[in-house]
Structure 1
Amino acid sequence: MRQLLCAAALSALMQPAAAQVAHRDTVSYNTDTLPAAGAYRLPNYAPVYPALYRQDAESKTVEAIGFLKGESLGSAPATFISTGLTGRIAGLYLQQSSGEPGNDGASGTLRGRSPLVLVDGIPRTLPPWSINPEEIASVTVLKDALSTAMLGMRSMNGAILITTRKGEQQRGLHLDFTAQTGISTPVKFPEPLSAYSYANLYNEALVNDGRPPVYTQADLDAYKNHTDPLGHPDINWYDKILKEQTPFSRYTLNAEGANKAMRYFVSLDYLNQKGLFRESDINTYSTNSGYQRYIFRSNVDVNLSRRLSMSLNVFGRIRDQNAPGAGTQSIFDALLATPANAYPIQNPDGSLGGNINYSNNLYGQSIMSGYTQDVFSDGYADLVLKRNMDDVLKGWWVKGTLSYVLTLYQNIDRSKAFETFQMHIDPATGDTTYQRFGTKAEQNNTSTVTRREHQIYAEAATGYTHSRNGNTLDAMLLYSLDHNTINTTASQLPESFETLAGNVQYSIRDKYIVQVSASYGGNNYYPKGNRFGFFPAAGIGWNIDKENFFNKDGFINTLKLRATYGLTGNAVAGYYDYIDHYVGAGGYYFGASAASQSGITENQPRDITTWEKGEKLDVGMDMRFAENRGAFSVDYYRNRLTDLVISRGKSSAALGYGNSIVRNLGKDLYSGLELSAGWSDKINDFQYYISGNFSLSDSKVLFNDEPAYPYSWMERTGRAVNGIYGYVADGFVTQAEEGPVVEGYRGVPGDLRYRDLNGDGIINQYDQQAIGNEKPLLFYGADLGFSWKHFSLSLLIQGAAHRDIVLTGPGEWAFQNDGKGQAWQHNLDRWTPATASTAAYPRVSVGTNVNNDIVSSFWVRTGSYVRLKNAELAYSFDDIRLGKIKVSRLRIFLNGLNLLTISPFKQSDPETLPGSYPLQRIVNGGITVKF
């Protein structure tokens, strides 16, 4: 039923109808299961269930929708399915910014905004990405106003609909078991200096600052020759703390089947991913980072009568995330702050090394700080009843949905404190003494439920379909209530979304399609009288190939033009933020004895009185050609967003708030171009496919309440939404007292110069402008592969261009942390009189240099890259008899993730900046047995 296409994001039971839609943004092909078209197989446009596929289904799609079959996600050995989606669908930009187990999922935007994620048509409060890809039937990306209009006050940012698998239509029980294991290695570590290089560069930095060097030639010789490992240590902390590789494994058992009245899909999944921290036999517990996940899913569909059906989906998940007691990110921060010569790992008596400047031994943080565990338990049950009402009115149906979700976050703290010691040898007597730093303490043993969430979702829907003389009318009406209670430990009142939505589509002989969708939805966190809004959208489509004048025997098989326009909304209400809040204040001292009395103070004002609004236009064309072997699609979109929640730019600091007052004031414009193309063919036993997508995403600030700047280059209005702003670097200072340098600073040779934009001879805030992210972001993906007899190979290449990153802090600058921080290989390219013409780094200083260590164009790098994101090689055996066991299929595979990256940025991975848990390269092998 066509009306369900528009409601795909809200309907959990109508998957077979939604499966008939042939979408445009196809990025994967599976030539094993698709129906043939003449001598060729059709590209994998949309049919989740090929038996339900209709050749004319694609012609009735007016919305801008991307589609991917779940089978494509199984080739990536990733913990989160968002990582497997990277590069596969036009308009969806995903970035994997961490490789830490349990936190290594990709996140990003859809046409510049963060999309809503739904599972089986229901917005979930639980994290949706950490599920087994083998549970997924399809992923549908809803991009424009028409496809999301029925989401009401959550329609502005687009949506991603994950549809889980139903049981097979064929009768009987069918089992399949997959076991896979692999090795995970860091893509790239930062390159710290050795103790000798560090000491040399540190002396140079001191001299540059007009101070005497601290390391003698004897010190330098000891570091270089390693003659005094206790007094002159040389430790690569990355090698000592982190492993070169770590294991990854996953095991899945699926059961599915059907009989006359029921079909079912049941899945059990276990995943174990270890982290990079080294461990010690002195502990009886793990101090490594790690992630274990247990998942149970049961999807059952039952025909209760000839017209009444029931669907019951049950999902349960436990996620166990382990970390050293000191904290994963804290250890990576310490790696940036600890040079190779800071202290020995251990003293001769076995105690941990340390001193007054470095009292928190890195080895101790990793091995002897105990551990913490975060246990996330969540699950849900969905009950859906649907009745065909043909006995009352032909083409009429009704449906009801009820879902309950429960999520618990538990923290187990078994961390502990440890001591470090600095060894001193009396030169006169030779006696050895130790100076202690820190305090040893008993191990903690606490368990706390830090967060509790539950969601109740209810939905009632009815629809009607009628066809006459080749014309079809589809209509639908839906009411939903989404009731979320979050963080009950803080006694927070629940948040509710209430929506009444409808959709009507009329198709005239499949040539002309007109569709209208609208919703009236609200959120209880807004002021009374202003809690509901109206969100209409409309679209038209013209199937030119259905016209009499179209040459149906020509190269082009189908050709469609389409356009949609609508008004959407996004609830960013905060927690009743339109109401003034008062919070507890610090003590006030008064009286004869100056006793302290607590008080209250006004919280930062947040005058959020309405929802964010989006006016969205999409124009597209779809084409299939060469006997349906090839496909091409193009979309142009223009989204004008208003009433965005931003901090006021014109508020006065005299009130004590500065620019922290938040209101519905912002206006942004997002526009872009998306292209998708694909080709699949067969030559005897050799089948191959190639598809690609290309997205160009631009943004512009229309209004941000900024003050009236004296110079146009200071303005952010009219520039990119996520622009980088700072000074424009203009080479190096060559003579003492030369400039221009920042106000109040005296330049010396090797310092950065800055462009004096206003010509007043002073470098200050009036000389800052946009220095990065001014071009539209370009991102793309290419999926290609082949199958020959029992072999198959698939490759996924993805990348981004026009992407700028700015490098700051201890991962880029030398000797930070009050001069005690690390220094890096790229710091050796610093300015000296001998390298003045080739230097790629200013002169080195000890500590923060107020002129050089600020955001400027000098520290902006291109973050463009091309990555072999995923590859899989497989061999399949069919119909094998192992004794009395009939195996219908046995498949052996080898796959990988983040296998190869090409980028002009060399210091770290372009997606994961220095100081973060490094991105992981996974090489994985496994076997699947189907019975």
Structure 2
Amino acid sequence: MTIKNEHDPQGDVMEGNCPKKRISIHPFFCILCTLLLLGFSAKAFSQKISLNLKNAPLKTFFITLQQQTDIALLYNEDLFKDKKITVQSNGEDLLKLLSTELPKLGLFYHEANGQITIIPAETSSVNRIIQQGKQISGTVVNSVTKEEMVGVSVVVKGTKTATRTDANGNFTIYVPYADAMLIFSYIGFQPQQIDLKGSSTVNIQLVEDTKALQEIVVVGYTTQKKENVIGAVSTITSKDLVQSPTANINNMLAGRLPGLVANQYSGGEPGVDRSEIFIRGKGTYGNQSPIVIVDGIERDMSYLAPDEIETFTILKDAASTAPYGIRGANGVIVITTKRGKAAEKATVDFRTSVGLNSPVKLPSLLGSGDYAMLYNEAMTNDALRDGGNVDNLNLFSEDAINKFHQAKGDNSDGLGYNWDYFDYLFKSGIQQESNLAIRGGNDIARYYVMGGYMRQGTNYDHIDLSDYNAKAKFVRYNFRSNIDVNITDKLWAKLNLGARITDRTAPGTSAGRLTTIAMTQPPYLPITLEPNSNSANAQYLLDHPDGLLYGDQIYRFNILGELTKSGFHTQKKTYLEGSFSMGYNLDFITNGLTVDGTFSYDANEEQWLRRQIDTYSEGYREYPGYSIFTPSGGRDVFMNPGFYDGTYVLGNKYAIDQTLGNSFSQSNPFNRTFYQFKVNYNQAFDKHNVSGMLLFNRSSQSVYDGDRAQVDIRYQGLSGQFTYNYDQKYLAEFNFGYNGSENFSPERRYGFFPAAALGWVISKEKFMNNTRGWLNFLKLRGSYGLVGSDKLPGGRFGYLQFYTGGSAYEFGEQGFNLRLDGLKEDRLANPLMSWEKARKINIGLDAQFLKERLGITVDVFHEHRYDILTELRASDNRLGFPGVVGQTAPFINSGIVNNRGVDFELTWTDRIGEDFRYYIKPNFTFARNKIIFQNEISWEHPWRTATGHRLNENFVYVFDHFVRDQAEADALNENGYQPWGKLIPGDAVYKDLNGDGLITDIADRQIMGNPRSPEIQFGLPITLQYKGLDISVLFQGALNSSMLVTDGAAWDFPQYDHDKTGSVRPLHLNRWTPETAETATYPALHMGTHNNNKNSSSSLFLYDAKYLRLKNVEIGYSIPRNWIKRIGLNQVRFYVQGQNLMTWDGLDHLDMDPESNTNGYWYPLLKVYNFGVNVNF
């Protein structure tokens, strides 16, 4: 028997499936084919056929088809030596034509891998086909939106005859007999099987299958069916992420996944707003960050666009993270990006939005009237303490205070200034985002291409005083291209390309300095001097409407000068990511055996330019101050780093020579190469299902210190994952990682990290038959294993001795000295150091009830982290380390911490009637740690010991009462009760815990409150849908968290540099005075520093940081499909979004966000109001 490809009559002749020639496929050829197939794949089988044949040989029919379509037809000539065909077609689809004509001749076709094979019908069925075969047509729509579905697979059951729905959801297929069965299937929807029963028209509504959307879960380096997963894994999709209008994906995660703890401590500054992420809390006082894997390769996820992400998964227990071995102890985040799907035509998705952002909460400061009143009181208290004469104080008059209370704020009424500096500093900003994606393919090639743009504008919106743009902004560009190609039915290839470009501009100052000035400047001072006719000042007036920046030797810092005249800096980052994979099916050896290999190259580059004036905001230096900077000689400032000569011009009246701090730095490119080879096996033997994976990978990452290349960071290792299940009922898994890290000496470099897991699907047991009416699924699972962490607290190569510069030495006689720099040993090396180790136990339960409407997942976990790398304390002689060494002590493996808790997730999905659906998914994580051993000195007082307590708990002086009167103050001062100076009535008194009559740092502080990082985080996502209207809401919060609030966030008249007159807040109105002694909650007021009342370790300023936040709201409306399909659109959806809309906490009197970790001295967290549209066609 011979099989011919009529498209290439001179091509190779094949006998059976055995080629007579060997075909060599070069990787470059694969890439070229991939690119060419982008244009071919979506149209290949939908080409139109025009022909008119009367009683022609069937071979002529096939040749004509190939000439018009360029598609390979494979067939056995013996099938139709004497067959004739009469057919006429005017633009009919190829597959539709074959479905109609071939059954009349007793033939079928099979479509796969870009070719069509002609096959014979069953001999016993030929007469039945000829007599009863008929053409079936119909339409497939979404059961909820009623929109036509494109690319739905339609298969005649028991045959290989198949087709797909077209752009309008329509299909036509020829069935061999009138009582045939049709099977309709589409990814993400429940398949349907329809008995035709003689019908010629079939209209189908496919129902979305939320379970199917999560059916395949990424676990380590492989994927598993969700029902077979016995590790602790949680997953969300891009649908959840795109609801958050923020630039950084780290800030989209809080409250969405059980086990993931996200704290946005750093605020919302464009380009640097990033949440701190842990998995299951903190289990070490070393580095706790999880590793991030994007499409199988370790990468940064911060500025991925949510539109390019398919799934976001966290791996939490040892069974899931063991393959990552030496870096798996902190958990693993696994991200997969979107890929193409086989469909008859490409789909285009466009999403764009614009919105406003503004601070969630700003510190509330008292106005000038209250400030002046409290200023007088604080100055008086200081004079009493220091023995000064109260009558000689320079205080505000009653008249001035009254005018301040009435003042509007800008002195337009002549009653004085009354500034709210935070309100002055922060305005509303604009942000924009647009994403365009194209997705499609067929059985040969599939592709996904996406481009995105996002811009966050500044919340600093003030008059420009300089000729440069110092307004903050952040711009991000994203690109993604993922291509899959089936080169043959056994050989496949993938090409993944990704790119991100970020461009950030900010004032030359920092957000911390700006907010510090806003927090510490008195509200009654002007920001700018009003224009005046004083001839002495005329030559110094700047060319802007408000006149000179205000400042003097006492109040030096000016917020407007800081913001607009401090210079600027820009930061540009470019990320390029590429990987190429090929795989081969080795079923000629045994079924289920495949191999694949991956090579990846990533390159990042960062450029930044900083132009900064050192004394920019000190207003008193305005004379003869700064303004327009003109480079001398016309040289390009970007090409001349260093201090750059030029001229400041003040208006057109005065000019002085000055220099502008101008430094340009271009980091040498970061690059990482990665390669991996993997063997997979997956096979079923009756009720026995076995899978296995062995993998070797290696990565090498370049490191630069300035312009000097350092030794590359390298990892390599072997990993394995093996699973077995019997009848999908009894499940077992063994995983391991054998990995090496450069951070340890060669003889201690590699470690073996095994883990095992068992699962039992109880609901499949016969004794559970009586429960199946209400219990649909019940699985018990457990895992145990060892994982590690090689992240050193003190840098790389802790086992090697490093040297650093020391004091200089002089040689020679007096007057002829030669001075040479010295060299000394840096931190002592520890050649015996090793990785941290974590033994993890996880017990989990998965259940589904009430026809899968109710789902529950519970995981109880315990982690024993030991050999934690800790700096050896010279004062601890228990380990034989001398008390005096003369250099920094080494790191040793000595710490032990236990961490235990529970993850919980409940899902309820239901519908009311045909049109209303809703979805609720509450989740929470509780994780509590305990220090079992910490290398600390032996304290005499047990309350000073950290061992036995939680990580990062607060050791504070315990507030007892306020000094009641002068007699008590005198008694305390006489005995030297506390070391911070003289006390007066109203000052704070702390408990003497050890009873020695004195307050000391060592003996009189104890643990209070909770650690800063919350032990409990929870989320409540809710989704409602009625016809085209949908509403999604996310509540998110945290419990068991405390924060010490200090400096200007809580203290009266805080000092900044030389400025001691600070600001005051509403809580200071509750200060101690003789009249308020019984109700006061704040001590007596003092100017500037007061280490007793304003003590950063005082329980007075320890607050409960629990909160509940309305994190996200999205309301969308989709225009009915039948309104827009005539213009070629599949979907048009309008939506509004809100981010960080409301917060309920116990910090109202502080006006601080409970997630802030900077005492208010930084850019605030932002809330966003967004409007957008999503178009699909």
Fold shared, TM-score > 0.5 on shorter chain: yes
- Matched position secondary structure for 2:767: coil
* CA 1:456–1:823: 2 relative to 1, 3 Å: same
Native 8 Å contact 1:631 1:677 kept in 2: yes
Task: Provide the residue aligned with 2:1088 in structure 1.
Answer: 847
* CA 1:678–1:622: 2 relative to 1, 3 Å: same
Task: Provide the residue aligned with 2:768 in structure 1.
Answer: 550
Task: Provide the residue aligned with 1:924 in structure 2.
Answer: 1170
Alpha-carbon displacement from aligned partner over 1:115-137 (angstroms, at most 9, x marks no partner):
1111112111xx31211111111
* CA 1:619–1:371: 2 relative to 1, 3 Å: same
The amino acid of 1:558's aligned partner reads F
* CA 1:605–1:878: 2 relative to 1, 3 Å: farther
* CA 1:849–1:672: 2 relative to 1, 3 Å: same
Choose the corresponding residue for 1:647, options 852, 863, 871. Answer: 871
Q: In the TM superposition, what is the alpha-carbon distance from 1:553 to its structure 2 partner? A: 2.7
Task: Provide the residue aligned with 1:627 in structure 2.
Answer: 851
Q: Are residue 477 (structure 1) and residue 723 (structure 2) matched?
A: no
Native 8 Å contact 1:651 1:658 kept in 2: no
Q: In the TM superposition, what is the alpha-carbon distance from 1:155 to its structure 2 partner? A: 0.8
Q: In the TM superposition, what is the alpha-carbon distance from 1:194 to its structure 2 partner? A: 2.3
Choose the corresponding residue for 2:426, options 230, 242, 247. Answer: 242
Q: How many Å separate the matches in 1 of 2:403 and 2:412?
A: 6
Task: Provide the residue aligned with 1:768 in structure 2.
Answer: 1005
Q: How many Å separate the matches in 2 of 1:225 and 1:792?
A: 49
Choose the corresponding residue for 1:715, options 931, 945, 950. Answer: 945
Task: Provide the residue aligned with 2:53 in structure 1.
Answer: none
Native 8 Å contact 1:154 1:570 kept in 2: yes
1:499-898 maps to which residues of 2 (within 5 A)?
499-551=717-769, 553-573=772-792, 574-588=795-809, 592-593=814-815, 596-605=819-828, 607=830, 609-651=833-875, 655=884, 661-683=890-912, 684-735=914-965, 736-739=969-972, 741-743=977-979, 745-764=981-1000, 765-773=1002-1010, 777-817=1015-1055, 819-854=1060-1095, 855-879=1097-1121, 885-898=1127-1140
Q: In the TM superposition, what is the alpha-carbon distance from 1:334 to its structure 2 partner? A: 2.3
Aligned residues: 885
* CA 1:228–1:626: 2 relative to 1, 3 Å: closer
Task: Provide the residue aligned with 1:26 in structure 2.
Answer: none
Comparing 318-327 with 167-176, which one deviates more in the overlay? 167-176
Native 8 Å contact 1:685 1:788 kept in 2: yes
The amino acid of 2:961's aligned partner reads G
Native 8 Å contact 1:403 1:458 kept in 2: yes
Q: In the TM superposition, what is the alpha-carbon distance from 1:853 to its structure 2 partner? A: 2.0
Q: How many Å separate the matches in 2 of 1:883 and 1:143?
A: 45
Q: How many Å separate the matches in 1 of 2:825 and 2:416?
A: 55
Task: Provide the residue aligned with 1:80 in structure 2.
Answer: 248
- Matched position secondary structure for 1:550: helix
Q: How many Å separate the matches in 2 of 1:828 and 1:51?
A: 57
Q: In the TM superposition, what is the alpha-carbon distance from 1:501 to its structure 2 partner? A: 0.9
Q: Which runs of 5+ in 1 are unaligned?
A: 1-29, 426-437
Native 8 Å contact 1:791 1:874 kept in 2: yes
Q: How many Å separate the matches in 1 of 2:554 and 2:232?
A: 58
Give the structure, 1 or 2, with the largest relative contact order (CA under 8 Å, sep 6 or more).
1
- Matched position secondary structure for 2:378: helix
Q: How many Å separate the matches in 1 of 2:986 and 2:1173?
A: 59
Q: In the TM superposition, what is the alpha-carbon distance from 1:234 to its structure 2 partner? A: 3.6
Native 8 Å contact 1:408 1:452 kept in 2: yes
Q: In the TM superposition, what is the alpha-carbon distance from 1:147 to its structure 2 partner? A: 0.3
Percent identical pairs in the alignment equals: 30
Task: Provide the residue aligned with 1:434 in structure 2.
Answer: none
Q: How many Å separate the matches in 2 of 1:786 and 1:246?
A: 30
Alpha-carbon displacement from aligned partner over 1:126-184 (angstroms, at most 9, x marks no partner):
x3121111111111110000101101211101011111000122132211111100110
Q: In the TM superposition, what is the alpha-carbon distance from 1:35 to its structure 2 partner? A: 3.2
Alpha-carbon displacement from aligned partner over 1:327-370 (angstroms, at most 9, x marks no partner):
23222222223222455423534222111123332101111222
Native 8 Å contact 2:720 2:736 kept in 1: yes
The amino acid of 1:646's aligned partner reads T
Q: Are residue 251 (structure 1) and residue 434 (structure 2) matched?
A: yes
Q: Are residue 915 (structure 1) and residue 1153 (structure 2) matched?
A: no
CA RMSD after TM alignment: 2.9
1:418-457 maps to which residues of 2 (within 5 A)?
418=616, 422=620, 441-450=658-667, 452-457=669-674
- Matched position secondary structure for 1:792: strand
Q: How many Å separate the matches in 1 of 2:810 and 2:1008?
A: 49
Q: How many Å separate the matches in 2 of 1:440 and 1:94?
A: 50
Q: In the TM superposition, what is the alpha-carbon distance from 1:678 to its structure 2 partner? A: 0.7
Q: In the TM superposition, what is the alpha-carbon distance from 1:108 to its structure 2 partner? A: 2.2
* CA 1:650–1:673: 2 relative to 1, 3 Å: farther
Choose the corresponding residue for 1:491, options 709, 725, 736. Answer: 709
* CA 1:366–1:42: 2 relative to 1, 3 Å: same
Alpha-carbon displacement from aligned partner over 1:3-23 (angstroms, at most 9, x marks no partner):
xxxxxxxxxxxxxxxxxxxxx
Native 8 Å contact 1:638 1:672 kept in 2: yes
Normalised to the residue count of structure 2, the TM-score between the two structures is 0.72
The amino acid of 2:999's aligned partner reads I
Native 8 Å contact 1:179 1:252 kept in 2: yes
Native 8 Å contact 1:630 1:678 kept in 2: yes
1:263-278 maps to which residues of 2 (within 5 A)?
263-278=446-461
Alpha-carbon displacement from aligned partner over 1:541-570 (angstroms, at most 9, x marks no partner):
011011111125331111111100000010
Native 8 Å contact 1:864 1:904 kept in 2: yes
Alpha-carbon displacement from aligned partner over 1:379-411 (angstroms, at most 9, x marks no partner):
110111111111222110001011111111111
Q: How many Å separate the matches in 2 of 1:890 and 1:766?
A: 68
Q: How many Å separate the matches in 1 of 2:668 and 2:954?
A: 35
Alpha-carbon displacement from aligned partner over 1:212-242 (angstroms, at most 9, x marks no partner):
4332416545645657999964432223332
Alpha-carbon displacement from aligned partner over 1:57-99 (angstroms, at most 9, x marks no partner):
3331110000111211111111112222110111111112211
1:358-369 maps to which residues of 2 (within 5 A)?
358-369=555-566
Native 8 Å contact 2:255 2:1037 kept in 1: yes
The amino acid of 1:207's aligned partner reads T
The amino acid of 1:705's aligned partner reads N
Q: In the TM superposition, what is the alpha-carbon distance from 1:450 to its structure 2 partner? A: 3.6
- Matched position secondary structure for 1:365: helix
Normalised to the residue count of structure 1, the TM-score between the two structures is 0.90
* CA 1:219–1:660: 2 relative to 1, 3 Å: farther
Alpha-carbon displacement from aligned partner over 1:897-930 (angstroms, at most 9, x marks no partner):
0011111111211112411211111010110111
- Matched position secondary structure for 1:760: coil
Q: How many Å separate the matches in 1 of 2:144 and 2:248?
A: 26
Task: Provide the residue aligned with 1:147 in structure 2.
Answer: 320
Q: How many Å separate the matches in 2 of 1:133 and 1:216?
A: 56
Q: In the TM superposition, what is the alpha-carbon distance from 1:780 to its structure 2 partner? A: 0.7
* CA 1:828–1:440: 2 relative to 1, 3 Å: farther
Comparing 750-759 with 482-491, which one deviates more in the overlay? 482-491
- Matched position secondary structure for 1:655: coil
Choose the corresponding residue for 1:95, options 263, 267, 272. Answer: 263
Native 8 Å contact 2:406 2:415 kept in 1: no
Q: Are residue 118 (structure 1) and residue 362 (structure 2) matched?
A: no
- Matched position secondary structure for 1:206: helix
The amino acid of 1:128's aligned partner reads M
- Matched position secondary structure for 2:242: helix
The amino acid of 2:920's aligned partner reads I
Native 8 Å contact 2:263 2:1155 kept in 1: yes
Q: Which runs of 5+ in 2 are unaligned?
A: 1-142, 146-186, 193-204, 219-223, 282-287, 532-540, 542-546, 624-654, 877-881
Q: How many Å separate the matches in 2 of 1:810 and 1:130?
A: 33
The amino acid of 1:737's aligned partner reads D
Q: How many Å separate the matches in 1 of 2:1126 and 2:1028?
A: 24
Alpha-carbon displacement from aligned partner over 1:713-734 (angstroms, at most 9, x marks no partner):
1110010112111111112121
Task: Provide the residue aligned with 1:203 in structure 2.
Answer: 376
The amino acid of 1:779's aligned partner reads Q
Native 8 Å contact 1:40 1:681 kept in 2: no
